[in-house]
Chain A
């Protein structure tokens, strides 16, 4: 189902429009306090905007033009599930009963709802967690169960509010993979501050700052050619698109980037290699020694980036210290060799 949300909340300085086409995932990026979570709450029906209109397909679930007639559908009647930063599993229910909560609440019998719960737990690789109490789960497990619980309610729109940000570094990749699988054909709004989530999970990106959408478009376009300062700041990631060969990505121009994968890739499937500019080292001559990705390029631009200098080349960028810039004698036009360890590169199928 598709979503159209025009939300105005003057006391939170929020005035934005979000559109998600059926079956697509929209990532909402932006700094803290930009109004991302308030927007999700409004769509879920937990927060009433001052004015605006929220439509799910053709059904108006909220409308208020500020004068006269208004419409309001309560949250339980919207078919919209919300997965927040913390799992918020009901502490008095077992994992299985948590997942069965949605089906039970909409009139399914106990036995059937448990059956459904087991099915959805299997979907998130959590069948063996069913009998446990939420307090006996790790952060990653709890978030998987929360995802199963949200999916079991069979929402037509899924809202994810920074679902990975409370997880530790080890647990996040596994859940991200899981989300990639289950979000594929679902209509989803994903609020995140992590650019990697947007790259891997979203078809489209909306950048929100100060309560307004300042940039919107297909993910690859917004992230590689950002026009807003915020998107440029966070979207510094190096993205190399191509096809999978073993654990590396080969582009149409023959550039090969080796990396690590969470799950095996099929030969020739579309894939993307992602790594941060700080993982890239800059040399004047090809380095010797440890196996690395070595890419020849020409400097196009140098710009200050915090305490470092961002070295831009046509496709990739690297962060180096000002001292290194001086030592290497870098300037626009300088031919350089970029090097990045395979262990710093994440390769994902897309």
Chain B
């Protein structure tokens, strides 16, 4: 749309708290920028440990995003379209990781996939170790990021309604055909923004990862963990790496907004 909306008649006082809130978000980022030693910036962000952490973060986040799509799409469809008893409870449970402290999530995962966990023994027999491996990082990230994808996709599905799916069914399309040729293509923008959100959440994941996967350089030490560790020994490196994360997050948020306006 090119036409500009007429500005609403807002009460003037509203701008003051809005400004304070905005400053509260932006000021910390700015003050971080003032602490960066630009002379060492290149060296700091390209140190072997930094590069390893960034690479690991990107790899694991991409993987966990893929897992989120694989399981989150069917979950969102079931929540938005199916009707079954206990649906409200199911939705609440699925969204739980959204409000749960990530550390708690990490502990829960440990008691599920850890050596002495619920499923850990089964995995052990199969010769698969999950806890404190890169797999654990991916699982931890998927655990915390999944609700983001489910929530935004379920919203898109509900807003879209079933009118096109109804038409498709009366034209003789079986449920699978309707799902693949109508439902999915129509919520693609919602799916894209959900996936971007899930990716961003995976990228920033800290609590569940350190609890469930530990902090082993190149194996489980993702960028947020690296930043936390560096802060103890070399605050300058921590600030420089933080900036890298800020930049990545900004790019991600911009992408999400763009994919939303496609709708």
Contacts and interface: CB of A to CB of B under 8 A. Distances in A.
B228 interface: no
A102 B171 contact: yes
A208 to B, nearest CB: 21
A149 B170 contact: no
Interface in A115-165: 149-150, 153, 155
Contacts of A76: 169-175, 178
B118 interface: no
Contacts of A31: none
B172 A90 contact: no
A79 B181 CA distance: 19
Interface residues of A, number: 25
A102 B163 contact: no
B173 A92 contact: no
A88 B164 contact: yes
Contacts of B177: 105
Contacts of B172: 76-77, 79, 102, 105-106, 153
Q: Taking chain B's interface residues, is the majority helix, strand, or loop, or is none over half, making it mixed? A: helix
Contacts of A82: 166-167, 170
A163 to B, nearest CB: 13
A79 B171 CA distance: 8
Nearest to B166: A46
B48 interface: no
A102 B171 CA distance: 5
Interface in B153-177: 163-164, 166-175, 177
Interface in A185-213: none
B181 A101 contact: yes
Interface residues of B, number: 18
Interface in A65-99: 74-82, 84, 88, 90-92
B98 interface: no
A78 B174 CA distance: 11
Contacts of B219: none
A32 to B, nearest CB: 19
Which of B166, B174, B175, B177 has most chain A Cβ within 10 Å?
B166
B249 interface: no
A132 to B, nearest CB: 18
Nearest to A75: B169
B170 A46 contact: yes
Contacts of A91: 186
A44 B164 CA distance: 14
Contacts of A79: 172
Nearest to B170: A82
A101 B169 contact: no
A105 B174 contact: yes
A30 interface: no
A52 interface: no
B74 interface: no
B170 A44 contact: yes
A49 interface: no
B94 interface: no
A46 B164 contact: no
B219 to A, nearest CB: 43
A75 B170 contact: yes
Contacts of B182: 90
B185 interface: yes
Given A90-B182, A92-B186, A105-B177, A81 B170 contact: yes
Contacts of A84: 167
A236 interface: no
A101 to B, nearest CB: 6
Contacts of B173: 76, 101-102, 105
Given A101-B181, A105-B177, A90 B164 contact: yes
A242 interface: no
B185 A92 contact: yes
A149 B169 CA distance: 13
A259 interface: no
A35 interface: no
Contacts of B166: 44, 46, 75, 82
A75 B171 CA distance: 8
B165 to A, nearest CB: 10
Interface string B172-198: 111101100110011000000000000
B178 to A, nearest CB: 8
Nearest to B173: A105
A147 B162 CA distance: 20
A49 B175 CA distance: 21
A98 B177 CA distance: 14
B76 to A, nearest CB: 19
A102 B174 CA distance: 11
B188 to A, nearest CB: 8
A81 B171 contact: yes
Contact of A80 (B163, B164, B170, B174): B170
26 contacts: A44-B166, A44-B170, A45-B169, A46-B166, A74-B169, A75-B166, A75-B170, A76-B169, A76-B172, A76-B174, A76-B175, A80-B170, A81-B170, A82-B170, A84-B167, A88-B164, A90-B182, A92-B185, A92-B186, A102-B173, A105-B171, A105-B173, A105-B174, A105-B177, A153-B171, A153-B172
Given A81-B171, A90-B182, A102-B172, 16 more contacts: A44-B166, A44-B170, A74-B175, A75-B169, A75-B170, A76-B169, A76-B172, A76-B173, A76-B174, A76-B178, A78-B170, A82-B167, A82-B170, A92-B185, A102-B173, A105-B173
Interface of B: 163-164, 166-175, 177-178, 181-182, 185-186
